[in-house]
Amino acid sequence: MPPTKNTQRSLLRSLGISIFSLIVLSSIESKAIDSVVVFNEINYHPSENNHALEFIELYNQNSVNVDLTGWKLTGGIDYSFPENTIIEGRSYLVIALEPETVKEASDLENILGPYQGRLDNAGETVRLRNNNERIMDEITYNDKYPWPVSADGSGATLSKLLPTSSSSPPQNWTSSPQLLGTPGKINFPDSNLPPPTISVPILSFDQEWRYNESGVDLGLGWASENHPATENWKSGPGVHAKENRLEVDIGTELIRPSLNKPYVITYYFERNLI
Ligand SMILES: [Ca+2]
Ligand SMILES: [Ca+2]
């Protein structure tokens, strides 16, 4: 959400570090929006290299149903969710390369697919996009450390330890203790594992950001849309500032508001943290 006018005015008078605080606030909100339906289990390299058993399991971290109509899986594979595809709150949905084969090998009835392409045995990136093409979740798994190597061809699936965790850090994943994993079901129902301790840097100063300093009010719903590069949406590394007394290097110099027409009243920053 853009800051109010009063907030913005004080922001512009203060040091650039205040602008950086705005960036952090924007990113937290962005993550909260995007992290509802996530990858939870991936069978990318079934035993004996039997590709017919490949599948991806999604989990809805929210308590309300999510309509996946028009959503897609992209990257290493391609799949478009048909109309009226609902993933229920706190529930799972499986998409397979050969749905019938996975149905026979498990006791799960509702399996979507087939998807195009195959999940690379050595690792690749898979994305979940909503009907606005916005990336809702992303994973770049690998068959080498720090990813769990035990999920590479043993028959055990790559399984997330906690369904409420994010998909990017390899520390959040392990291998399923059983062949073919747990399609459509919680990965570790009887586990007494303590929550994993994970240290993940959320941001570094020099990461790339998309930003808009046009001065045009984009309205309250601006964060729910994708913003490809345009004249108004530019990208540049942090720190974003108009300030010459910072202790860190300025990666992207913003327009001095007093020189801008119209006068800039709101800056927008966005970044996909998944
Ligand atoms: Ca494969
Ligand atoms: Ca599962």
The 3-state DSSP class for residue 92 equals strand
Cα–ligand 2 centroid distance for 167 (angstroms): 14
Ligand nearest to the CA of 50: 1
Residue 128's DSSP bridge partners are 73, 137
Distance from the CA of 92 to the center of ligand 2, in angstroms? Answer: 7
Secondary structure in 3-state letters for 114-140: CCECCCCCCCCEEEEECCCCCEEEEEE
Within its chain, how far is the Cα of 229 from the centroid? Answer: 20
Q: What is the pLDDT of residues 82-113, one digit of tens each?
A: 999 999 999 999 999 999 999 999 989 999 99
Residues measured by CB to lie within 5 Å of ligand 2, the ion: 41, 57, 182, 187
Domains present along the chain, CATH in parentheses: 37-175 (2.60.40.1260), 208-270 (no CATH)
Query: Which of the ligands is closest to the CA of residue 77?
Result: 1
> What's 90's DSSP letter?
T
Residue reference for tokens 């860190």: 248
- Short-list 148, 107, 131, 95, CA closest to 224: 131
Burial-class residue 60 by CB neighbours within 10 Å (0-12, 13-18, 19+).
buried
User: Residue 44 Cα, ligand 1 centroid: separation in angstroms?
Assistant: 5
**Which DSSP state fits 116?**
B
Closest residue by Cα to residue 125 from 114, 115, 112, 137:
137
Do residues 156 and 176 touch, judged by C-beta distance below 8 A?
A: yes
The listed range with the strongest mean pLDDT (71-75, 202-206, 210-214) is 71-75
DSSP state of 8: H
Distance 109 CA to ligand 1 centre (A): 22
Using an 8 Å Cβ cutoff, are 173 and 148 in contact? yes
Question: What is the Å distance from ligand 2's center to 118 Cα?
Answer: 19
The answer to whether the Cα torsion of 162, 166, 172, 174 is positive or negative is: positive
pLDDT exceeding 70 applies to what percent of the chain?
79
Helix (H) or strand (E) holding 6: helix 5-13
pLDDT at res. 191? 60
Nearest to 73 by CA among 121, 113, 109: 113
What pLDDT does residue 43 have? 97
Q: Lowest-pLDDT range, 15-24, 170-179, 186-195?
A: 15-24
Amino acid 193: pLDDT? 57
262: preceding bond cis by omega (within 30 degrees): yes
Distance (angstroms) between ligand 1 centre and the Cα of 119 equals 4
Residues ≥6 apart with Cβ < 8 Å to 88: 60, 65
Beta-bridged to residue 252, according to DSSP, are 240
The predicted pLDDT at position 117 comes to 97
- How confident is the model over 106-132, as pLDDT tens digits? 989 999 999 999 999 999 999 999 999
What is the 96 CA–ligand 1 centroid distance (Å)? Answer: 11
C-alpha–C-alpha distance, residues 53 and 102, integer Å: 6
| Ligand minimally distant from the alpha carbon of residue 43 | 1
Chain-wide mean pLDDT for the chain?
82
Confidence of residue 19 (pLDDT cuts 50, 70, 90): very low
